[in-house]
Amino acid sequence: MCITTTCLEKLGREVQRKIENIKKEKTKYAGFNILVRARTTRLRNEDSIMQPDMSNAGTDNIAAIFWQKSSVAKALGNVAIFDNPDRAEYYGDLISFLLRSGGRCRRSDKKGVGLLVAKP
């Protein structure tokens, strides 16, 4: 484990380089931007979207969500900042943030939003 300033700076540069490489991997296919994410949407029996905490089964499918940007709406709430100074169990200050967000289809017929499903 590195604890020196030089080692931490090197680690920070390495993480930044990996982030830049992921941004460069963004490509287009059929007019859609392809974005890399850490998790993907999973479906059970091709029709029900699974919650992230559900366990995998051998018949589950993975899916990519695609949308046309004027077919969806998004909302961002206020940012709440929590500051807990001098927390002994953390050996210092504890700072955290909360941001509520959401999105939905603008059209009731769900046109402009879809799933591309990959079967096992």
**Mean pLDDT, rounded, for 22-48:** 70
Q: Is the pLDDT of residue 4 over 60?
A: no
User: pTM of the entire structure?
Assistant: 0.51
**Mean pLDDT (the chain, rounded):** 77
CA dihedral 48, 42, 72, 109 (to 10 degrees): -30
Higher pLDDT, 44 or 97: 97
Per domain, the residue ranges of the chain are 1-36, 43-118
Residue 50: how many other CB atoms lie within 10 Å: 16
Residue 63: how many other CB atoms lie within 10 Å: 17
Per-residue pLDDT of 57-116, as tens digits, reads: 777 888 888 888 888 898 888 888 888 888 888 888 888 899 888 888 999 998 888 888
The pLDDT confidence band at residue 6, using thresholds 50, 70 and 90, is low
